[in-house]
């Protein structure tokens, strides 16, 4: 037999079966054609995989390349490809780049990235998907529809529940987007433009998701002291609607709240045992990457940017906010400014350093930063324990996601710092598997491949088997790991030998360069 690519003598972890086994893999026409003893076969390209693991391409179920706009600016997404990711799911936390009912809709992106210079020439999800097909995509891309994006396109910055007529319009836009291939809907219940969504509205959307056998992905209202109640809220929505529920970047934030881990997992486990299709993604880091304004009390940011700035400037409101922050759950002083597009001089400084420089409290410094950046500040916060991170990674309902975005290695630090998970999530997770022995290699790969594909409804990917799409990663189990740091995230991961996307080599370590961009827009 003759193949386009022949991977010889690899230790295959197929994403499904038990132990790794020795086999060859023949690939032609973007499809895995054969797995087994292919001695005597020839190929246009032969990859010697002696001593290496061969696995399905890793699937990232929680990716923000759209909300950070790198999907359009750096579509090759080198930082994802070089860590073995071959498929990403975008449109999370209530925000997507389509559909756009009005220019107001796109403003839901602003908390993550400036809209200056954005080249948006679509309105519907179908037009968006068609436009993306013209980009040189490094990975396959699937998309959710952001509830806040749809909602904001209809009611703008108004702080109110949607009317019955508006709910019907939301349902129509979702239905059209599903017809165009969107794989579900995301809620960002912690953010300003969804915090006032009524239960009626959320249930209506969730029922549509369930009726079309799509996915509901939710950023909880609280990942701190209110995490149990936040979980109960979304599980009730999933149970009443019948929707498959993914909890985004699940974690317990803040040392005072670590005690809630057991109760939170019990809520999820009980729901699963009752038949609720609930699962969650988690990243292997103890530092979050989040929007600074979400540290404020919710009333202070209802209405978005203008409301935040008004409340900060009003003497009475400011004092109430300061009192809330002073009695809060987070160690504010250690919060590290990662990105501030309007005031880059703040990048790399902690709130404690800013407070000392300004001779004010850290609470005052936080408000001063929001004012100086027009609320557009992204921060790092080491607020997750190693113990809870490990417990979540090991949980049988967990899958692995980056909660990051795709970049290239020349992305300038003048843009700010990005979380190292954008460059190293999957290799870091596998290095923890090797060093801490938290699970078997086979279970780890399953969490990154077939389990993710099955939970998210991604067909023909996530497995090494004849007939599957040829998304494949070859890696060295002895050296795999991440070199990306918070101070210098723009570093290539170790141990990834080859990455194949749709049957063509996208990365080869010997060349230490990205090859052809062969990612596709996938439909649900």
Q: Which domain CATH number covers 214?
A: 3.20.20.140
Residues 13 and 77 both lie in one domain: no
**Cα separation, 186 vs 206, whole angstroms:** 10
388, 456 Cβ separation under 8 angstroms: no
Residues 227 and 349 both lie in one domain: no
Boundary residue ending a domain (362, 381, 400): 381
Boundary residue ending a domain (346, 381, 416): 381
Residues 225 and 91 both lie in one domain: yes
Q: Would residue 128 count as lying in a domain?
A: yes
Residues 68 and 99 both lie in one domain: yes
**Cα separation, 58 vs 37, whole angstroms:** 24
Residues 339 and 434 both lie in one domain: no
Which of the 8 DSSP states describes residue 6?
Answer: E
Q: Would residue 41 count as lying in a domain?
A: yes
pLDDT at 30: 98
Burial of 444 (0-12, 13-18, 19+ CB in 10 A): buried
Number of domains, the chain = 3
Q: What is the full per-residue pLDDT of the chain (524 aa) written as tens digits?
A: 999 999 999 999 999 978 999 999 999 999 999 999 999 999 999 999 999 999 999 999 999 999 989 999 999 999 999 999 999 999 999 999 999 988 877 766 665 666 665 678 899 999 999 999 999 999 999 999 999 999 888 888 777 788 889 889 999 999 999 999 999 999 999 876 677 778 888 999 999 999 999 999 999 999 999 999 999 999 999 999 999 999 999 999 988 999 999 999 999 999 999 999 999 999 999 999 988 998 999 899 877 788 899 999 999 999 999 999 998 777 899 999 998 877 888 988 999 999 999 999 999 999 999 999 999 899 999 999 999 999 999 999 999 999 999 999 887 655 678 999 999 999 999 999 999 999 999 999 999 999 999 999 999 999 999 999 999 999 999 999 999 999 899 999 999 999 999 999 999 987 655 668 999 999 98
CA 312 remoteness from chain centre? 30
Q: Would residue 125 count as lying in a domain?
A: yes
Residues 36 and 140 both lie in one domain: no
Domain interval for residue 360: 291-381
pLDDT tens-digit profile of 13-52? 999 978 999 999 999 999 999 999 999 999 999 999 999 9
Boundary residue ending a domain (381, 412, 433): 381
Residues 118 and 176 both lie in one domain: yes
Residues 37 and 48 both lie in one domain: yes
> Following DSSP, what letter does each residue of 483-507 receive, concatenated?
---SS----PPBSEEEEEETTEEEE
Residues 85 and 183 both lie in one domain: yes
Q: Would residue 91 count as lying in a domain?
A: yes
Q: What is the signed CA dihedral for 383, 385, 391, 395, rounded to 10 degrees?
A: 10
Q: Would residue 177 count as lying in a domain?
A: yes
Residues 62 and 116 both lie in one domain: yes
Q: Would residue 256 count as lying in a domain?
A: yes
Q: Would residue 7 count as lying in a domain?
A: yes
Strand bridging mode 215-219 / 244-247: parallel
Query: Euclidean distance between the first and final Cα of the chain, in Å?
Result: 33
Give the closest residue to 101 by CA, choosing from 85, 79, 125, 119: 125
Q: Would residue 265 count as lying in a domain?
A: yes
Task: Give the CATH number of the domain where residue 22 resides.
Answer: 2.30.40.10
Ordered alpha helix ranges (H), 242-385 = 261-273, 298-301, 305-313, 315-326, 351-358, 362-372
Residues 364 and 390 both lie in one domain: no
Residues 172 and 128 both lie in one domain: yes
């Amino acid at each position: 037999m003759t193949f386009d690519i022949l991977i010889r003598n690899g230790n295959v972890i197929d994403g499904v079966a038990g132990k790794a086994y020795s086999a060859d893999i023949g690939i032609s026409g973007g499809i895995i054609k054969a797995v087994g003893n292919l001695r005597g076969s020839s190929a246009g390209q032969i990859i010697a995989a002696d001593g290496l693991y061969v696995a399905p391409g890793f699937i990232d179920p929680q990716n923000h390349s759209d909300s950070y706009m790198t999907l359009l600016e750096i579509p090759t997404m080198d930082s994802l490809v070089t860590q073995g990711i071959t498929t990403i799911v975008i449109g999370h936390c209530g925000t997507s780049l389509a559909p756009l009912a009005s220019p107001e809709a796109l403003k839901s992106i602003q908390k993550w990235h400036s809209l200056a210079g954005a080249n948006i020439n679509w309105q519907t999800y179908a037009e968006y998907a068609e436009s993306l097909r013209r980009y040189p995509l490094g990975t396959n891309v699937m998309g959710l529809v952001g509830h806040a994006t749809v909602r904001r396109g209809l009611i703008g910055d108004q702080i109110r529940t949607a009317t019955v007529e508006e709910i019907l319009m939301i349902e129509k836009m979702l239905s059209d987007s599903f017809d165009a291939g969107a794989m579900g809907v995301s809620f960002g219940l912690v953010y300003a433009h969804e915090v006032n969504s009524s239960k009626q509205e959320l249930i209506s959307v969730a029922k549509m998701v369930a009726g079309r056998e799509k996915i509901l992905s939710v950023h909880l209202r609280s990942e701190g002291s209110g995490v149990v109640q936040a979980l109960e809220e979304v599980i009730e929505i999933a149970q009443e609607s019948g929707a498959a529920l993914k909890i985004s970047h699940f974690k317990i934030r803040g040392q005072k709240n670590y005690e809630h881990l057991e109760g939170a997992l019990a809520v999820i486990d009980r729901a699963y045992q009752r038949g609720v299709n609930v699962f969650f993604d988690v990243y292997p880091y103890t530092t979050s990457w989040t929007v600074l304004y979400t540290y404020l009390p919710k009333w202070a940011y209802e209405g978005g940017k203008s409301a935040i700035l008004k409340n900060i400037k009003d003497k009475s409101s400011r004092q109430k906010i300061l009192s809330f922050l002073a009695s809060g759950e987070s160690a504010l002083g250690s919060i590290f400014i990662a990105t501030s597009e309007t005031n880059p001089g703040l990048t790399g400084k902690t709130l404690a350093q800013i407070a000392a420089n300004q001779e004010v409290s850290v609470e005052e410094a936080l408000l001063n930063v929001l004012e100086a950046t027009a609320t557009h500040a992204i921060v790092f916060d080491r607020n997750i324990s190693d113990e809870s991170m490990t417990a979540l990674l090991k949980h049988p309902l967990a899958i692995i996601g980056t909660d990051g975005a795709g970049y290239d290695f020349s992305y300038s630090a003048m843009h700010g710092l990005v979380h190292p998970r954008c460059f190293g999530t999957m290799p870091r997770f596998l290095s923890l598997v090797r060093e801490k022995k938290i699970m078997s290699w086979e279970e780890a790969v399953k969490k990154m491949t077939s389990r993710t594909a099955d939970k998210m409804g991604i067909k023909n990917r996530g497995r090494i088997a004849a007939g599957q799409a040829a998304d494949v990663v070859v890696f060295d189990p002895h050296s795999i790991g991440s070199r990306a740091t918070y101070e210098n995230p723009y570093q290539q991961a170790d141990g990834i030998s080859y990455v194949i996307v749709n049957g063509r080599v996208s990365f080869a370590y010997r060349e230490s360069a990205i090859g052809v961009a062969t990612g596709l827009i996938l439909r649900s």
